[in-house]
Amino acid sequence: MKQIDPLQLLAEAKKAAKRAYAPYSKYRVGAALLTANGTIFQGCNVENASYGLTVCAERIALFSAIAAGHKKFKALAIVASGRKAPSPCGACRQVFAEFCQPGFPVYFATKNNLRKFRSMPLSKLLPATFKL
């Protein structure tokens, strides 16, 4: 299993943010998801004129990994173009809770300062997950 290198994961998320389709908000987000076997999947936000159809970078990375056959994950990094480090929306938090353990680490940074990242376990991001 590959060790978690937050800065490498954040650098991959920054690359993904450059590919974001954000003509309405201009808020570019990239995500990098590390699988249990060391593969990194990237995602970027894709906006739509009908805002409700916009898809977040985090879910694109996760769904790409799942479509490729992965179901075990080690960490997620998120980078955005804003002034503050991004945090996943509620929908992304709940989707990650479906596949990841409570201690799953999430790293956040702005594109201009990857070294000043924050880290938080999924259990703190979503303390009361919905489960069936």
Dist. CA 42–CA 25, nearest whole Å:
20
Residues carrying an active site annotation: 58
Nearest to 93 by CA among 55, 127, 42: 127
- List, in sequence order, every beta strand (DSSP E) within 26-104: 29-35, 40-44, 73-80
Dist. CA 89–CA 84, nearest whole Å:
15
